[in-house]
Each structure stands twice: as C-alpha cells, then as structure tokens.
Amino acid sequence: MKSITLALTLLLGLIPVVSAETLYVSDRLEIQMRTGKGNQFRILRMLPSGTSLEVLEHDRENGYSKVRSPGGVEGWVLTRFLMNEPAAREQLADAEKKVARLELENRKLNAALGELKQEKGSTDKERSELDRENRKISQELEEIRRTASSALAIDAENKDLKSRIVAYERQLQTLQQENAGLKDRTARDWFMVGAGVVLLGMVIGLIIPRIRWRKKSSWDTL
C-alpha cells in the first residue's frame, strides 16, 4: 500500500503544472454559464460583464471554454464572449479610481508643498534674524576689540606712569636724604658758630677788663 502511494506521489510530481489562464467576460451585459457545451445544457448562473474567470479548458471545435467563477463554480461559456482584458466599463472604473487616487495624492502633495513653503518662509525669516544677530554680535565684538586695544594702551601708559612715579619717588627720597643731611650740617655749623660766638664773648670778656685795668694803671701813673 505504501509503495502504491509513493508511486502515485512520484507520478503526480512528474506531471507538469500548467498555470491557469485568466480571461474576462466581454462588454456584453451578461453571459450564461452552463453545465455543458451547448444551449441544451442547464444554466448554472449568469455572469455579468467584467467578471474575472479562471479558464480551465478550451474546446475550439465547439467554441466553448470551461471556466471557474470567483465563487468556485465551474461551467462552460462561449469563448467568443471572453476577452484578455477587463471590460471597458471596468477599465473606466479602474481609471476613475486611479484618477481619484492621483487627485487625492495631488492634493496631499499640494498641501505638503504649502507647508514646505510656509516652513521655507519661516526658515528665511529665522535666517534673516540670525543674520541681523550675527551682524550685531560682530559689531559688539569689534567694539570689544577696540575697547581691549584702548585698555591695553591705557595699561601700557599706566605702567609707564608708575615707572616714572617710582623714579620720582626715588629721586624724592634721595633729595629728602640730602636735605636731611644739609639740615644736620647746617645745625652743626650753627652750633659751631654759636659755640664760637660764646667762646669769643668769653675771650672778649676776659680781655676787656684787663685792657681797662691797664689803662687805669697808666692814668694813675701820670
């Protein structure tokens, strides 16, 4: 039993698989699907225009084709009522759907374009504001540089003035020291002069009485 099943499986695997052909009901309003190849066979259903049918078999001699409907019902229809493309109404409906879809996409694109334009306007405005801010900052930076340059010049002048003041202070200290020395020397000189005067006074005080005494003696002798 297993060998028979395996043989059937291999046999089925060797049978080529033929892809099913798809045809469409023509622009005729409806066609009949029958159980056989002829008007004497029972009608299974009426197929409206544009119905997609899977073709299972062609009978070129009788002009019939065996088909399967989208619902899975199989039957025979006249081959001349089948087309390779959907009916014009279906194509028109598809075209209208595509047009509607494209119009919707176009509206979306236009809306997106409007938003992009608004964003561009905002971006341009922000860029202008940034440019103004950049110019302002550049001016402030230039002013700071000028101020810094002036500050450096003032600092250099200040250092020069400080150096001069230090030199003047040293000269003043030297002069003050010399002045103090002169004052001390003058005080000593005045002290010596005073001492000399006192000494001279004392000498004169000693000499004058003697001179007077001698004179008196000489007068007494006369």
Delineate the domains of the chain, giving CATH numbers in brackets: 22-86 (2.30.30.40)
Tens of pLDDT, residue by residue over 113-136, are: 888 888 777 788 888 888 888 888
Tens of pLDDT, residue by residue over 149-186, are: 777 777 777 778 788 887 878 888 888 888 777 777 77
Question: For the range 91-95, what are the long-range contacts, defined as Cβ-Cβ under 8 Å and sequence gap of 24 or more?
Answer: none
CA contacts within 13 A on the Cβ side of 149: 6
Average pLDDT over the chain reads: 77
Would the pLDDT of 83 be above 50?
A: yes
Going through the chain in order, the beta strands assigned E by DSSP cover 21-25, 30-34, 43-48, 52-59, 64-68, 74-78, 82-83
pLDDT band of residue 35 (cuts 50, 70, 90) is: very high
Measure the CA–CA gap between 87 and 55, rounded to whole angstroms: 17
Cβ atoms 74, 35 nearer than 8 A: no
Cβ atoms 66, 54 nearer than 8 A: no
DSSP states along 19-79: PPEEEEE-SSSEEEEESSSSTTSPEEEEEETT-EEEEEEEETTTTEEEEE-TTS-EEEEEG
Measure the CA–CA gap between 86 and 26, rounded to whole angstroms: 7
Q: How many CB atoms lie within 10 A of CB 160?
A: 10
